[in-house]
């Protein structure tokens, strides 16, 4: 009797589990999740989800231990230093790209430890060799694996994202994505067995957050706002018409996409790379003139003079140090880098000034802000505000460059550079579900976003999955092994 009663209680608990819609913003470096909760039930209608480390953002990483154990998100951060050849980051920038393209060549230049081959299908997209075995692992499967593993690592309070509570998701698409790339992103989610409700461009999400947040002027006022976003790998700008109105106790916001300029492949990671290269040059100069800190066979002879670029672990440490130094320079006039036994038993000690950093990144910054110039030049209406969005804009010189180039325009920082896109996209999902949000919303996407939202793959999904049947089977095996290792109920696959 007690067993039956327990089963009934379990069934009621499962039935009572609310259906949650996570909105995923997957960038070059980090992922953010806002959960839309249509049922309410005493919980916010939409709220930022926290990962297992109680952080608001999660590293976009997928790595494999030698025994085949998969690590994703923040669990893979240490692996990127220990075994960079088996840990992939920045993979979202490769989606839809083919071997030999500029994007793939840039990736390989920064990550020479990877061997990239064309997937043996009719599409010719990127695959990685040597991550698990010598068999190539398709990028689409890698992204599906990441999605499937991390989506259940988030929670809002005591509401957990599980296979039972998540029936569909929404995606934030990078502003530079074409309709075809967005279609591939949806396909990755489909392979991961996640149903995609909608796709929202990241700059549209930022504009919606700007509008519903009431950052523009008094009710009834109209604004033409350029949203300029600088992420990890790209900088983009989009023009929006925004109007807010108030009738009695109700508030309404209207957001219309007016046009987009071309994106450029320059972002925060470009600045990191410039600083990393500078640190490598400093180390090389030190290497040729200094003796090892501790004499040993490994620190003498030819090994001492091997270029640091041949040492993947050392370059990964330099990359992390460059990012930290860049962040320090956003608030301080100088940053110190100290890395013990970086390469060939030699230490690196260097202090970088803000002036040096700005000189190293001057050319990249000029290229990064070009989309704003193009947008303002082509606009047929007066642009009153250029609103800044994205983590790359923490570099103070970028805003200063914009002010110098466009003196008649207000440069705004009214929205959260990290979270505005995912919150705006979540607000749009809530509005479409007719949830009782504080400000009602009317949003009109532009032609590009319409194409992204309603894109049709050049070839049906079925044959594509059939091409990947071995990799999809591998995805199931890896997922089963991961859940079993964590003591989770395997459920059905």
pLDDT of residue 44: 86
DSSP result, 221-262? -EEEEEEEEE-SS-EEEEEEEEEEEEETTEEEEEEEEEEEPP
| pLDDT number for residue 128 | 87
Cα–Cα distance for residue pair 136/395, rounded to 1 Å: 38
Distance of alpha carbon 178 from alpha carbon 318, whole angstroms: 33
- Is the confidence at residue 413, as pLDDT, over 90? no
Q: Is residue 478 predicted with pLDDT exceeding 70? A: no
Q: Extract the tokens encoding 136.
A: 């190539």
**17 pLDDT higher than 70:** no
Structure token pair of residue 266: 């320059």
Is the predicted pLDDT of residue 479 greater than 90, yes or no? no
Q: 19-28, 38-47, 55-64: lowest mean pLDDT where?
A: 38-47
pLDDT over 90 (residue 19):
no
**Nearest-5° Cα angle at 483, 480 to 487:** 130
pLDDT exceeding 90 applies to what percent of the chain?
36
Q: Give the separation between CA 361 and CA 370, rounded to whole angstroms.
A: 15
Bridge-partner residues for 129, per DSSP? 115
β-partners of residue 59 are: 30
Average pLDDT for residues 376-393, to the nearest whole number?
83
C-alpha–C-alpha distance, residues 434 and 447, integer Å: 24
pLDDT digits (tens, 9 = 90+) for 278-323: 999 999 988 877 654 444 433 333 345 688 988 888 998 999 999 9
Residues 55 and 79: beta-carbon distance below 8 Å: no
Cα 420 to Cα 91, 241, 476: the distances in Å are: 22, 17, 34
Non-local CB neighbours of 46 within 8 Å, separated by 6+ positions: 34, 35, 36, 37, 423, 426, 427, 429, 430
Confidence at residue 304, expressed as pLDDT on a 0 to 100 scale: 52
Work out the pLDDT band at 453, boundaries 50, 70, 90: low
pLDDT given for residue 447 in this prediction: 65
Give the pLDDT confidence score for residue 338 in this predicted structure. Answer: 95
**Rounded mean pLDDT of the chain?**
81
Helices in 301-361 by DSSP H: which ranges? 312-329, 354-360
Measured CA distances, 411 to 254, 377, 387, 463 (Å): 22, 16, 6, 48
pLDDT of residue 121: 59
Helix (H, G, I), strand (E, B) or coil at 316: helix
* Residue 380, pLDDT score: 74
Measured in degrees and rounded to the nearest 5, phi and psi for residue 278 equal -65, -45
* Ordered strands of the 126-129 beta sheet: 115-118, 126-129, 137-138
In terms of Cα–Cα distance, which of 143, 91, 57, 60 is closest to 417? 57
165 CB-side CA count, 13 A: 23
**Is the distance from CB of 61 to CB of 87 less than 8 angstroms?**
yes
| Residue 490 pLDDT level (bands cut at 50, 70, 90) | very low
What tens digit of pLDDT does each residue of 182-198 get? 988 998 998 888 999 99
pLDDT over 50 at 493, yes or no: no
248 versus 424: the higher-pLDDT residue is: 424
Pairing of strands 61-64, 87-89: antiparallel
pLDDT of residue 458: 40
CB 124 within 8 A of CB 98: yes
| Greater model confidence, 431 or 117 | 431
Decide: 203 and 230 in contact? Cβ < 8 Å. no
Inform me whether the pLDDT recorded for 262 exceeds 70: no
- Mean pLDDT across 56-73: 89
* pLDDT of 482 above 60: no
Instruction: Please give the pLDDT value at position 260.
Output: 66
Check residue 61 and give its pLDDT.
92
Give residues with Cβ within 8 angstroms of 472, minimum separation 6: 141, 191, 465
For 102-133, the pLDDT digits (tens) are 998 888 888 877 877 766 556 778 888 888 77
Please tell me the pTM assigned to this model. 0.83
Q: Is the pLDDT of residue 157 over 80?
A: yes
SS3 422: helix
| pLDDT band per the 50, 70, 90 thresholds, residue 250 | low
Q: How far apart are CA 355 and CA 358, in angstroms?
A: 5
Say how far apart CA 373 and CA 366 lie, in whole Å.
Answer: 10
Give the tens place of pLDDT for each residue, 332-344.
999 999 999 999 8
pLDDT of 270 over the 70 cut: yes
pLDDT at 384 over 70: yes
pLDDT of residue 13: 41
Which two structure tokens, joined as six digits, stand for 457? 């793959």
Is residue 120 classed exposed, middle or buried when 0-12, 13-18 and 19+ CB atoms within 10 A define those classes? exposed
Spell out the residues 6+ positions from residue 459 whose beta carbon is closer than 8 angstroms to its own: 122
The model's pLDDT over 196-218, given as tens digits with 9 standing for 90+, comes to 999 999 999 999 999 987 555 44
- Phi, psi at residue 438, to the nearest 5°? -60, -35
How confident is the model over 231-245, as a mean pLDDT?
89
């Amino acid at each position: 009797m007690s067993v039956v009663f327990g089963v009934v209680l379990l069934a009621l608990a499962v039935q009572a589990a609310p259906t949650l819609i996570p909105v995923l913003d997957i960038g070059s470096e980090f992922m953010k999740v806002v959960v839309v909760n249509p049922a309410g039930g005493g919980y916010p209608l939409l709220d930022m989800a926290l990962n297992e480390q109680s952080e608001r953002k999660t590293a976009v990483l997928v790595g494999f231990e030698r025994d085949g154990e998969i690590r994703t998100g923040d669990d893979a951060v240490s692996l990127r230093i220990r075994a960079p050849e088996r840990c992939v980051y920045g993979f979202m920038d490769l989606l839809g790209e083919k071997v030999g393209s500029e994007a793939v060549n840039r990736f390989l230049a920064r990550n020479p430890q990877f061997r990239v081959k064309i997937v043996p299908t009719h599409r010719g997209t990127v695959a990685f060799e040597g991550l698990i075995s010598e068999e190539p692992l398709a990028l689409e499967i890698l992204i599906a694996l990441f999605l499937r593993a991390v989506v259940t690592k988030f929670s809002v309070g005591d509401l957990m994202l599980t296979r039972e509570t998540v029936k569909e998701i929404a995606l934030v698409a990078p502003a530079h994505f074409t309709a075809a790339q967005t279609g591939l992103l949806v396909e990755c989610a489909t392979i991961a067995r996640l149903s995609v409700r909608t796709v929202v461009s990241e700059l549209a999400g930022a504009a919606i957050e700007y509008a519903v947040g009431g950052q523009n002027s008094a009710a009834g006022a109209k604004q033409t706002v350029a949203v300029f976003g600088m992420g990890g790998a790209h900088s983009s700008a989009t023009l929006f018409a925004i109007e807010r109105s108030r009738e009695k106790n109700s508030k309404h916001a209207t957001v219309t996409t007016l046009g987009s300029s071309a994106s450029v492949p320059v972002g925060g990671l470009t600045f990191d790379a410039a600083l990393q290269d500078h640190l490598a040059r400093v180390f090389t100069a030190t290497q040729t003139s200094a003796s090892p800190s501790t004499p040993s066979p490994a620190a003498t002879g030819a090994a001492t003079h091997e270029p640091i670029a041949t040492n993947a672990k050392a370059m990964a440490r330099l990359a992390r140090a460059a990012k930290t130094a860049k962040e320090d320079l956003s608030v301080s006039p100088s940053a110190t880098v100290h890395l013990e036994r970086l390469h060939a038993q030699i230490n690196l000690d260097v202090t970088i000034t803000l002036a040096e950093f700005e000189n190293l990144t001057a050319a990249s910054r000029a290229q990064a802000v070009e989309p704003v110039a193009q947008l303002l030049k082509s606009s047929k209406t007066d642009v009153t505000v250029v609103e800044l969005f994205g983590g790359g804009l923490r570099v103070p010189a970028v805003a200063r460059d914009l002010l110098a180039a466009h003196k008649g325009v207000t440069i705004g920082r009214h929205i959260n550079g990290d979270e505005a896109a995912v919150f705006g996209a979540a607000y749009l999902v809530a509005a479409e579900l007719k949830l009782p949000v504080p400000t009602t919303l009317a949003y009109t996407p532009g032609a590009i976003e319409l194409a992204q939202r309603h894109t049709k793959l050049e070839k049906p999904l079925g044959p594509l999955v059939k091409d990947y049947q071995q990799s999809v089977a591998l995805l199931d095996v890896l997922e089963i092994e991961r859940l079993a290792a964590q003591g989770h109920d395997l459920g059905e696959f």
